[in-house]
């Protein structure tokens, strides 16, 4: 059976990393041999539990000399493990994969996970490695269009495979009571609090500052904003957000809780889930996870969220960076009846079950692997 190698910078947390684990599960279920190369992280154990083998390489680097050395190490790994296909999931490791592919003759594909900035010819060249494989997987229609516009890739070399959730894991009717109670205690949430959840790593463009300003404008002392996500060492951003909250008088209404291993329980604690990214998300898995849990979602109207949220039906879309619109959407949501909020949540889950499941993602990805393995297309 084929040996498939996935390559990414690290396995700490995030949609790319979780997607890697999911594909390991799919490959192992087929009897294939799944390999993953990265610099390591908390999800290495998940790779191994799923039936994969992890190889630690210093792939979390943009240093050209180290990228070159990583290519040699990958080529040796490919030969030793008799790899049949390589799947690159990030730009810097993809440059190593490109050279290793040429050294060994083993084809590779990529998943274009991000709306990478394209501010110069040098940047565009750096990004172009993500379209140099046999096929390119796009996480959304937005990304598929971007690939064609920025790189001139013909549609027949692009495969649109949206991200997905496991509807049995993200199930609001699951056995969540004790887990939810534990999180509420750990996060020290008041019993009568109305909770706004923003699940995203701490970053300048994820919109945490937008939500803090909206909270101040909302003027509802019973509302608590919970920021779920690692700061990944960006302590200065957290400090600036705390300074902003203090300046606006809402310090007591915000909580930074870091990484959460139990997102279904976290989402069940939320009255509203917000995705306030000021730059377009390539897809935005947090949105469909919240929808699967029948939460009301308020999201910036661009990128992947504009595809997964139908305004007024399965969530609420607001103009990116528009704090006033975000405030009004939050206020309207809290003022809406419980029946209306529940109806929107149920429609959102139905949409996820129809379009955005792990089973669909796995099946479509396996089809891409099969097509490349069958054709053994030459590397452009």
Q: Do residues 78 and 226 share a domain?
A: no
Share of the chain above pLDDT 90, in %: 90
Q: Do residues 48 and 70 share a domain?
A: yes
Q: Do residues 317 and 182 share a domain?
A: yes
Residue 198 domain flag: yes
Residue 380 domain flag: no
Residue 170 domain flag: no
Q: Residue 302: what pLDDT?
A: 96
Residue 27 domain flag: yes
Angle 173-179-183 from CA coordinates, rounded to 5°: 125
Q: Determine the structural domain holding residue 257 and report its residue range.
A: 177-355
Q: Do residues 181 and 126 share a domain?
A: no
Residue 379 has pLDDT above 80, yes or no: no
121-152 tens-digit pLDDT = 899 999 999 999 999 999 999 999 999 999 99
Q: Do residues 279 and 237 share a domain?
A: yes
> 267 and 289 in contact (C-beta within 8 Å)?
yes
The domain that holds 367 is classified in CATH as 3.40.50.2000
pLDDT band per the 50, 70, 90 thresholds, residue 376? low
Q: Residue 233: what pLDDT?
A: 83
Q: Residue 323: what pLDDT?
A: 98
- What CA–CA distance (Å, rounded) separates 271 from 289? 14
Long-range contacts of 283-286 (CB under 8 A, 24+ apart): 283/15, 283/113, 283/139, 283/140, 283/143, 283/162, 283/163, 283/308, 284/308, 285/15, 285/18, 285/163, 285/165, 286/199, 286/200
Q: Do residues 317 and 205 share a domain?
A: yes
Residue 377 has pLDDT above 60, yes or no: no
Q: Do residues 225 and 263 share a domain?
A: yes
Q: Residue 231: what pLDDT?
A: 86
Q: Could you tell me which of 298, 340, 341, 292 has the C-alpha nearest to residue 322? A: 298
184-232 tens-digit pLDDT = 999 999 989 999 999 999 999 999 999 999 999 999 999 999 999 988 8
Q: What is the mean pLDDT of the chain?
A: 95
- What CA–CA distance (Å, rounded) separates 255 from 257? 6
145-184 tens-digit pLDDT = 999 999 999 999 999 999 999 999 999 998 889 999 999 9
Share of the chain above pLDDT 70, in %: 99
In the chain, what's the furthest Cα-to-Cα distance?
62
pLDDT band per the 50, 70, 90 thresholds, residue 380? very low
Q: Do residues 259 and 364 share a domain?
A: no
Average pLDDT value for residue range 77-88: 98
Q: Do residues 107 and 193 share a domain?
A: no
Q: How many CB atoms lie within 10 A of CB 346?
A: 13
Q: Do residues 148 and 291 share a domain?
A: no
289-319 tens-digit pLDDT = 999 999 999 999 999 999 999 999 999 999 9
Q: Residue 12: what pLDDT?
A: 86
Task: Look at the chain and report how many structural domains it folds into.
Answer: 2
Q: Do residues 220 and 284 share a domain?
A: yes
Q: Do residues 114 and 135 share a domain?
A: yes
């Amino acid at each position: 059976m084929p040996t498939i190698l996935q390559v990414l910078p690290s396995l700490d947390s995030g949609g790319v990393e979780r997607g890697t684990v999911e594909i390991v599960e799919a490959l192992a279920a087929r009897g294939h041999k799944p390999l993953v190369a990265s610099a390591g992280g908390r999800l290495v154990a998940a790779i191994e539990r799923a039936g994969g083998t992890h190889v630690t390489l210093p792939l979390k680097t943009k240093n050209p000399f180290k990228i070159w050395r990583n290519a040699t190490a990958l080529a040796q790994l490919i030969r030793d493990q008799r790899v049949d296909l390589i799947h690159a999931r990030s730009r810097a490791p993809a440059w190593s994969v490109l050279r290793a592919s040429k050294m060994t003759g083993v084809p590779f594909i990529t998943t274009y996970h991000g709306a990478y900035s394209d501010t110069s010819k040098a940047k565009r060249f750096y990004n172009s490695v993500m379209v140099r494989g046999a096929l390119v997987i796009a996480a959304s229609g937005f990304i598929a269009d971007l690939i064609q516009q920025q790189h001139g890739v013909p549609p027949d070399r692009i495969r649109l495979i949206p991200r997905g959730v496991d509807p049995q894991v993200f199930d609001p009717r699951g056995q969540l009571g004790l887990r939810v109670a534990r999180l509420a205690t750990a996060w020290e949430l008041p019993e009568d609090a109305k909770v706004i959840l923003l699940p995203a790593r701490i970053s300048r463009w994820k919109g945490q500052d937008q939500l803090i300003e909206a909270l101040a404008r909302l003027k509802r002392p019973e509302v608590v904003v919970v920021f779920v996500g690692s700061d990944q060492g960006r302590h200065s951003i957290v400090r600036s957000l705390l300074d902003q909250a203090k300046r606006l008088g809402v310090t007591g209404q915000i909580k930074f809780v870091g990484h959460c291993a139990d997102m279904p329980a976290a989402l069940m604690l939320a009255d509203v889930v917000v995705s306030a990214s000021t730059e377009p998300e390539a897809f935005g898995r947090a949105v469909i996870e919240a929808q699967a849990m029948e939460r009301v979602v308020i999201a910036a109207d661009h990128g992947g969220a504009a595809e997964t949220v139908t305004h007024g039906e399965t969530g609420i879309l607001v103009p990116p960076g528009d704090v006033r619109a975000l405030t009004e959407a939050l206020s309207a949501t809290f003022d809406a009846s419980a029946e209306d909020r529940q109806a929107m949540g149920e429609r959102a889950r139905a949409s996820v079950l129809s379009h955005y499941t792990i089973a669909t993602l796995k099946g479509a990805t396996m089809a891409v692997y099969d097509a490349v393995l069958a054709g053994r297309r030459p590397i452009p």
